Each structure stands twice: as structure tokens, then as C-alpha cells.
Structure 1
């Protein structure tokens, strides 16, 4: 892969606030064209990580580089769009006027204003005052503002916080749309559902420490299992123990859970058991959700 495909690399980042260590040796890479989620409960270090990368929070130690270190941070940040605080626009100016002001300050063509308003679904409200906007509309306008300079990466801190279900749905759809156009996205969230639905990659943080870093699908790739039941579960368990693909077995609410160490199709398992004179009355192949994985990762740590 071209080194220029690495948009942000973070190495052994540490941050202390007095006695509190907010980040402990945090390292990760953001590659072009993906949607990354920094996932963790409140106080896990998500906002601190973004703040350091955006040069608004000072690191204690460690390093971070934008675009493989090919440019100074202040130059690199011109290629970054970010929303890390509540949207802040002039209340008595219209949506269009607010965006035109941002263009004027940043030296961007006004042509971008209508393009970005359309992207976030606010064209029909472009001449409405910001003060009349709902929280979801304000957030959509903030995204439009962050996209005016066609950034290489869009950074969002808790983008759906405080929104109603419809507002959440709209923001998530916009994020997917932006990603589909090739913009890299990095978002911080405490919502497992958000990361599972929107992101390709996830970094799980707890108390400033990385618990997992990689593909969203990878978190649960090794947690495929079968949920089974027969009239004689003891015989069923004994048979399952003899199958090479079965790693371990658990019982939950009268169902037998068979966890796998290699891929196994339902029809093949059914045939294997039938040949041992075991007839199933329940067989479902399941995969632990990201939520179950997250709880497993953070449990007791």
C-alpha cells in the first residue's frame, strides 16, 4: 500500500491530567477510504485522542503524524474536516449565509455551499435562520460546513448525541453517503449500534487503553456458534464433543451452544448428528453481536 494512503498514524500516545492518565500508549493507523470508529464509554479517552490529533489538546508523550509526516500539522489540518463540539453558527443568519461566511473565512468558493447543503438534505431550508433549526438540522449543517473544503478525512465526535431516532437515522445515512464518495471518516462514539452500522474498522478504548483494534467484523469473526436442542441434550453434547470443529460447549436456557474453532455449515453439522441418531428440534447458526463482544472485552478490565 502506498504510504500516502495512511492519513493518520498515532504511536504510543499518552496524556495525563494531573494524577489521571487519560491515554496509555495508544497506537493506531487510519487508512484512506475507510470508516473508523473509536468506541468506548464516556471517559474512555475518545475525545482526548481526537483533540490531540487536531492540535487542540497537548499530548504528554508519544507521537502522531498526518499523511505519513509529509507536511506540518497546521498544513495537514487544512485537509481535515472536524466537528468536535456542538455546532456554533450565527443564529439570525440563514443556513446559506452561515456557510458562505465559512467559505469567506477559509477562502473557499461559494459554489460549494449549495453542493454541501444538498448532500446533507438542507436545500429546502437554506434560507431559514439557524435559530429555527432542530438539533438534528444543526448537526447536519455542521457536517456541511466541515465538508466545504472537500477534506480527505472527516472527524466527528459523538455525531448523534442528543438526537431523536429520526435525527440519528439521517446523520448515519449522511455518514454512509460521504464514505461512499471516498472520504475517510473517523468518529468517536459510545454507541455500539452506531459503530456496527456505520464503521468498517473499530478501536475499542477503555480508561485510555486499547482493548481491540481492527475490522468491525473481525471482533466477532471467531465467535460463531450454533444454538441447538434435541429431546436428549446430554447425548447431543456428548456427540458434539467428538466433532473436530467444535471448540467448546455451553448450556443456556435449555439450549446447547456449540462454539466453533473453524467454519462449519449447519447442514453438515445436522448430517453429522443425524448419523449418530440424534434428531434436532432446533438448530440456528449465530454470531455474537458487537455488543456481546464489547461486553466480553471490557468485562472485568
Structure 2
């Protein structure tokens, strides 16, 4: 698998503040990566470093396995790391022509990219007439003009209404199916779960987790159970070595698993213990639940 970007022990300090701390990650071709973390976790700083907008303090990063460096490498990268910055009085086509001149790109790419983002029929409309979602889609079209191998997006749905958010997420999936690798920074768990294949969890500049979204949320399932024999049930669950921990919310008990257990086998074992369940549901953890576990375990 081709490696597009490698970060090795990357660190950035702003005075006494360490924004990125000893960060090591690998971005492989063909995946959609979500850098997930709250505001101040180092997401934007990390993107700024690899785009040569921010100078690193220590560590290294390497593009395309070291085959090309510097500005040559960035010619294969498209990025949207701030709010769209276009001229209000110019049309979408005119704005993109200006970008093409700056980047030395053929105008022939404009209609193709406007079509991808669903704005081809609005290319002659002035930018000021666009909704926020349309402005963001035009910015993505601009980032695609150079046919990048990697598209970097920093909080692409920030400030959008539900319809705009839906359009951008749908567009990201569409772009990914065309074979473009995407690196997406977001503080929205729902966004990462819906559009990303891989996730990197950051907090205060440190990596807490890196891997596929499926591995993160499928690693452990959980049972939701109820019984009139609540105390006996709790005693059994807490003594079972296959159960990691137990959460109680009223009559509902949630048992998080350390290893896979079949629901019918689980119920049969409880019957053998003379514990009868009135409710049994097996579920997979959501990304939100897994994220909270990871961050709480690293307090």
C-alpha cells in the first residue's frame, strides 16, 4: 500500500504551550482519515505543519515515501484549512480561473470540478449569491483543481446548517470513491463515524488512538440487560472475567465485553445461575462511546 504522508515524533511548541506532542502517524493511499479531537487538541496545528504554514519544533514528516519534497510534494495535495476566501463580486467560474492562474492549472479543469461538487449550473452566478454550503463546496472544487492525491479538509462542515452538512458529507464520500485520499480534521464524532474509514484521536496534542473506525467500534460489544433479580445479576456480571465494566442507569444495566460472547450463550449461562432476564439486547459501541472510553482512560 502506497504511503502518502508519514509523521514521525512531530512536536510543535508555542512558548510554554505544546500544541502537538511527539505525534507519529501514517496516511496510506485510498483511505479517509479523520483526525478527531476537541478544539485545542492540535488538529489544525498538525495540518498547518505538513502544509508548511507552521514551522515544526522537532520531529519530521515525509511526503510520498520521500520521493518528492517541499513545494513539489504540495502540488499533489489539495487543502481547505480555513473559510472560503473568494471575491464576492466575481462568479464561481471567475474565482476558479483566478486560482488556476495562481497555481498554473488549465482552465479545462473548472467545469469538471464544478460538476463534482454540484455547482456546474451555478458557475455564472456571483459568489455573494451562494449559500454557506455552496461556498464550502466551491472551496472544495478549488482544492481539487490540481487533481490532488491527498485532499486535506479542516472542519469542513463548521457553521453549516443540517442540509449543508449533509451535502458536504455526501460530497466527501463521493470524492473518496474516485480514489482520492482524504485527511479530515473534525471535532464531530458523528462526522468521523459517517465519512471516515480510519480515525486518529488527539487530545492536547497527543495521539490516544490510531486505527480503522471499524476496529475502534467493533473491538468490543456490550449487552443491555434488565432483570427483577437486579442484585444477583450485578453480582454475576461483576465477577465474570469476560466483562470489562458495568454501567447502571435505573433498571437498565449495560455490560461492556472484553471478548466476544454470543447472546444466546450469555442468556443460557444466566438461566443456569437462576437469573431470568426481562430484557436482553446485544449492541456494538458507537464511536462516541469508544471515544469517551479512550479519553477517560487517558486522564
Q: Same fold (TM over 0.5)?
A: yes
Q: Does 1:30 align with 2:18?
A: no
Q: Does 1:291 align with 2:294?
A: no
Distance 2:189 2:56 in 1: 27
Aligned length: 298
Mark the CA change 1:295 to 1:244 in structure 2 (over 3 Å): closer, same or farther: closer
| Residue 228 of structure 1: how far off its partner (Å) | 0.8
Superposition RMSD in Å: 1.8
1:27-48 CA-to-partner distances (Å, cap 9, x unmatched) read 1000000011111111111111
Q: 2:90 is matched with which residue: 93, 98, 118?
A: 93
Distance 1:129 1:148 in 2: 19
Residue aligned with 1:166, SS = helix
Mark the CA change 1:204 to 1:248 in structure 2 (over 3 Å): closer, same or farther: closer
| Residue 132 of structure 1: how far off its partner (Å) | 1.1
Partner in structure 2 of residue 107 of structure 1: 104
| Residue 256 of structure 1: how far off its partner (Å) | 2.7
What stretches of structure 1 of length at least 5 have no aligned partner?
none
Residue aligned with 1:278, SS = coil
1:204-245 CA-to-partner distances (Å, cap 9, x unmatched) read 111111111111223333431101112212333455567664
Q: Does 1:18 align with 2:10?
A: no
Q: Does 1:232 align with 2:229?
A: yes
| Residue 276 of structure 1: how far off its partner (Å) | 4.2
What stretches of structure 2 of length at least 5 have no aligned partner?
none
Structure 1 residues 109-188: aligned runs within 5 Å = 109-188=106-185
Q: Does 1:246 align with 2:243?
A: yes
Residue aligned with 2:75, SS = helix
Residue aligned with 1:256, SS = strand
Contact kept? 2:220, 2:259, Cα under 8 Å: no
TM-score (norm 2): 0.93
| Residue 113 of structure 1: how far off its partner (Å) | 1.2
Contact kept? 1:222, 1:260, Cα under 8 Å: no
Partner in structure 1 of residue 276 of structure 2: 279
Distance 1:242 1:204 in 2: 32
